[in-house]
Amino acid sequence: MTTILQSVAAYEAWMRAQLGADLVEAGLAKKHKLMKKDSFSFLRGTYWRWAETILDICPDLKSAPPLLAIGDTHLENFGTWRDEEGRLIWGANDFDEAAVMPYALDLVRLAASAILARGDDGPTPRAVADAILGGYRRGLQTPSPIVLERDYKWLRNAVLLSNAERKDFWEKYRTLPASKVPVPDPYIRALRRALPDPTTQFEARPRTAGTGSLGRPRFVAYVEWRGGPVLREVKALLQSGWSLKHDPSDEAIQTGVIAAGRARSPDLRYQVSGRLLVRRLSPNSRKIEVEDDIAMLLSPAMLDLMGFEIANCHADDASRLPGILADLDKRGSDWLRTAARAAAVAIDGEQAVFARKG
């Protein structure tokens, strides 16, 4: 197996070959800084490395039934949006690494992220695993979008922004600095098509966000339309790190496929065109971050709901669900805790090496 430093160098060389002049070097520098900060951020920034190592760390997961999975699951990969009916929906909101893989990996990566983020005072690994598995089993049995309009008052209250926060949100994007270099035409065209009125004039401006996608170009369009602000974002997509390692010939982008699954109520403004993802940004499209409310993210109710939502994403092919439930029964009660702890230990070790030498 390659070392973490060799793996980072190889993956970023591949990114440069894929993106060419569009690659954002400042984004990679920021990613490296975050990866050195802590193991949770390291996990977020190195999905391809997870794909390279997890089946060596947890070889018994190879036999789990495969399906189209999220891939890059973690505590911060969940948020809100408005669906076709204008309802506030909560669920997984980043599918950049979606690919066909053993279903269990989505659960292990989420549990490992919780263990890495919990610190000294959080729930035990067993409590984390039990909550996630409980929600996942419920979701497999009765998959359903998580609609906050009537139900889940506790979560709705946690995600809604105050008037001051909404004002700050719009001001932040209205005043984004202009790009220092010309924005490539494909990104301009994608943003234009995504606006409610494609004839509206706008200036595409670069945005830095996330961790795993740093280095990929990302631009936003802010316009005034019919009395108020509208935002669209476009970012580049790359082949999933899972496919890159396990089936390099599979270059299909599955982001839009899994996002629009039968057990979800997607944002219709979330659209994939070729290798570009365009989506709506708004105060109604937000997530809870570890730095803001780790206690909420690690609560049993939230971990249960994250497990439930992973099941929603896995439930698109109903014929696969009995096989997954049978596999869960065969694995017993402690497999997720054991696998997540092993993964977290390995990630901690590689993060320490990268922080020291990277």
The pLDDT value recorded for residue 210 is: 86
pLDDT tens digit sequence for 145-200:
999 999 999 999 999 999 999 999 999 999 999 999 999 999 999 999 999 999 99
The pLDDT value recorded for residue 128 is: 98
Binning pLDDT at 50, 70 and 90, where does residue 119 land?
Answer: confident
Predicted confidence (pLDDT) at residue 1 exceeds the cutoff of 80: no
pLDDT tens digit sequence for 47-94:
999 999 999 999 999 999 999 999 999 999 999 999 999 999 999 999
Nearest to 106 by CA among 316, 303, 311: 311
Q: State the chain's mean pLDDT as an integer.
A: 96
Q: Calculate mean pLDDT across residues 17-34.
A: 96
Phi-psi domain of 214 (left: phi exceeds 0; alpha: psi -120 through 50; beta: other) = beta
The pLDDT value recorded for residue 121 is: 80
| Cα atoms found within 13 Å of the Cα of residue 19, Cβ hemisphere only | 25
* Rounded alpha-carbon distances, angstroms, from residue 256 to 36, 51, 83, 270, 342: 32, 21, 15, 8, 32
The pLDDT value recorded for residue 122 is: 87
The pLDDT value recorded for residue 340 is: 98
43: tokens are 């996990």
Q: Calculate mean pLDDT across residues 229-253.
A: 97
Percent of the chain with pLDDT over 90: 94
The pLDDT value recorded for residue 342 is: 98
Q: Calculate mean pLDDT across residues 217-235.
A: 97
Nearest to 257 by CA among 234, 277, 283: 277
**C-alpha 211 chain-centroid distance:** 10
The pLDDT value recorded for residue 292 is: 86
Contact 331, 160 (CB under 8 A): no
The pLDDT value recorded for residue 286 is: 85
The pLDDT value recorded for residue 203 is: 96
Predicted confidence (pLDDT) at residue 120 exceeds the cutoff of 80: no
CA-based end-to-end distance of the chain: 18
Dist CA 294 CA 283 (whole Å)? 20
The pLDDT value recorded for residue 358 is: 74
